[in-house]
Chains A and B, each alone.
Chain A
Amino acid sequence: MTEANSAWRPSVAYFRSAVGAVVVLMLALIARRPDLLVIATPLAVVTVWSLLTRPSSPPTFDERLGHSTIREGEATTWHGDFSGGGEFDIAVASLQPTRWMNTRPSSGAVTAAATDGAASLAIGLRSTRWGWRPVETVSVVAVSPWAGFRWSTQPARHHLTTLPRPAQFDSDSSARPSDGLVGLHRSARAGEGNEFAGIRRFRAGDRMRRINWPRSVRTRELQVNSTWADLDIHVALLIDATDDFGVSEGIDGLASSLDGAVRAAGAIAEFYAPRGDRVSLRTFGSTRTHLVRPGTGRAQLRRILETLARMTPEYSARTVSRGPIGRQIGRLDAEMVVMLSPLIAPEALDLAVDLGRQGMMVIIVDTLPDHVVQDDEDQYVGLAWRIRLLERRRELRMVMGAGIPVVEWRGPGSLDPVIRDISRRASGPRMVPR
């Protein structure tokens, strides 16, 4: 609650009417011109009216933001309520334009007529890009009748967390199982699960509900249905936040490389985490390294999305040396590593190759947007980009030659072919350097 800390002050309008009335009345008396009295009448009435209706005490102003966390494209409302402010006339709230924030009304300014010293103001806010950023300052003004006196305040800025709206994603392929005993993926071993493995003789410890009664009757000994154990996998999401390439126009327009990475990571996490698979998140190249330890469920998804929202690319902080990327991300113990990167910085490719050599299933999702080379403003920039992309193509061929698939993000089923391919390869013997 914002208690008024300023008093009602005379406005420019009050000054104008008062000075105008006094000057004209004086002229009327000095020049003996009664017609000037008529001309001065409206200004004098307004001045006296303003004085008689001047609010005696400052109002109490209470303001709040409807939600502190929303998703891209969703909206919340800023509310401001005046109360106990004497008899003021109009309340006005004006929000400074905020990047990646649409307002309703589009002007960001609302007015309300006060009734019995109370007025309510509301500005709709729609966030169009993920991130953690402040809502710009709202200037709040209350004025007395005829705008004679004015009271104003500027409440503290609110911070709004905008979670990325994950892209569409699903997958039909099962990744290589882990050693855990929960999850949806079929284990290489028999155990408690849902997927039928075969029928065998009853052993001590088998559950009664597993007994296959028709088979037991036929064979005259107890037989049970055996199943494959259900296992989970650990999907490690690695995000390259070294830089943000391309134009970001929010949820309704073009997406930059970091937009693509964040939304794709959100989509993968939203697919795997609620199913019981463990998902972790690590970033490298951002202003600070973000880490979400492996976990599962909706709460883990929420943690991941909130961490993604707080990510900022390194940009100018690039000169700050924080050591090799491998040290930044720490030790990964995952069955599937999904690296989301525009693949412009060579460190990302080196890291992917290193992880692949450690025997991990690494998939690189290329997030470089197509529009990055459509910069018509500067032909030299366009030329530089084309040269860099040619080099990048060669680097990608080398990475793929090392057995690391690079895929473009296309939403549902983007990762299916590579997951199937890698799972098939993983079922055979592998050579791992010791």
Chain B
Amino acid sequence: MNLGVVADWFDDGPRTIPAQRWGLIATTVAAAAVASVLTGVVAGRVNWVILTLVVGTALAAAARPDFHTGLLVEMILIWHWLAATDDPLTPLAMPMALCMFVFHTGVALMSVAPMRAIIDWTVVQRWSMRSGFVVIATVAAWLLVVAMNGRQASGSVALTFVSFVTLTGLVLVARVRSDPAR
């Protein structure tokens, strides 16, 4: 990364960035931090090193949302979850998933426009309404996992995966057909 760009950002950035963008940055970084803390809660101990790493990379991703730093944040969070937790049915998987979704969506929304731009509130509202469907799909996926586990189905993971794909497809079809404007 060009250091001059970074210097310019620190010189001019804070003055020219609108409050809305600061809000998006805060939401995005907070979502990543909460995801890391949730992992710590499930594991029984919050790992401050990982948390610091996540917050740092999340800040970098928010500063340059058109880079692949966001993917690095997601990979750190997934690796931490996989390594630190061993409860496959924990309900905290839902907020964890939604925190990652908020992080991803926030970075994606910020990558659309320059840092100094104010994103039209219609866009924010539209994305918020869409997020409702994602929340429903996530909750449904967790319920499915729990239900399949309760029935002691053989090859539960493979079955759950197939069910998950089916459910996702159904949600999308229902969504697309219900609102052509999307």
Contacts and interface: CB of A to CB of B under 8 A. Distances in A.
A11 B111 contact: yes
Given A16-B68, A145-B182, A52 B78 contact: no
Contacts of A43: 74, 100-101, 104
A11 B108 CA distance: 9
A121 to B, nearest CB: 10
Given A15-B68, A20-B71, A111-B123, A38 B109 contact: no
Contacts of A39: 78, 81, 93, 96-97, 100
B45 interface: no
A112 interface: yes
Contacts of B176: 52-53
Nearest to A105: B118
B97 A145 contact: no
Interface string B132-168: 0110011001100100110000001110110010001
Nearest to A44: B168
A407 interface: no
A360 B39 CA distance: 90
B105 A32 contact: no
Nearest to A87: B182
Contacts of B164: 37, 41, 44
Interface string A164-207: 00000000000000000000000000000000000000000000
B134 A42 contact: yes
B88 interface: yes
A35 B82 CA distance: 9
B120 interface: yes
Contacts of A53: 176, 182
Given A15-B71, A28-B161, A39-B81, A109 B90 contact: no
Nearest to A146: B108
Interface string B86-117: 01111001101110110011011101111011
Contact of A41 (B81, B126, B137): B137
Nearest to A145: B182
Contacts of B113: 90, 92, 94, 109, 111, 141
Interface string B66-87: 1110110011001001100101
A16 B70 contact: yes
Interface string A8-24: 00011101110110011
A12 B141 contact: no
Nearest to B98: A42
A13 B70 CA distance: 9
Contact of A37 (B78, B82, B130, B161): B161
A160 interface: no
A108 B116 contact: yes
Dominant secondary structure of chain B at its interface with chain A: helix
Given A41-B97, A41-B141, A111-B113, A13 B104 contact: yes
A285 to B, nearest CB: 36
8 contacts: A20-B74, A20-B75, A34-B156, A37-B145, A42-B101, A42-B138, A45-B171, A89-B126
Nearest to A144: B182
A67 B6 CA distance: 37
B53 interface: no
Given A35-B89, A90-B112, A113-B120, A23 B78 contact: yes
A24 B78 contact: yes
Which residue among B81, B123, B130 has the maximum number of chain A CB atoms within 10 Å of its CB? B123
A23 B172 CA distance: 21
A13 B141 CA distance: 23
A94 B114 contact: yes
B104 A17 contact: yes
B181 A87 contact: yes
A249 interface: no
B111 A89 contact: no
Contact of B82 (A31, A38, A46): A31
Given A38-B138, A38-B141, A16 B74 contact: yes
B160 A147 contact: no
Q: Which 3 A-B pairs have the closest CB atoms?
A: A42-B101, A109-B117, A13-B108
A94 B118 CA distance: 11
Interface string A105-117: 1011111110110
B39 to A, nearest CB: 10
A125 interface: no
A15 B94 CA distance: 23
Contact of A27 (B70, B71, B82): B82
Contact of A16 (B71, B96, B112, B172): B71
A29 B157 contact: yes
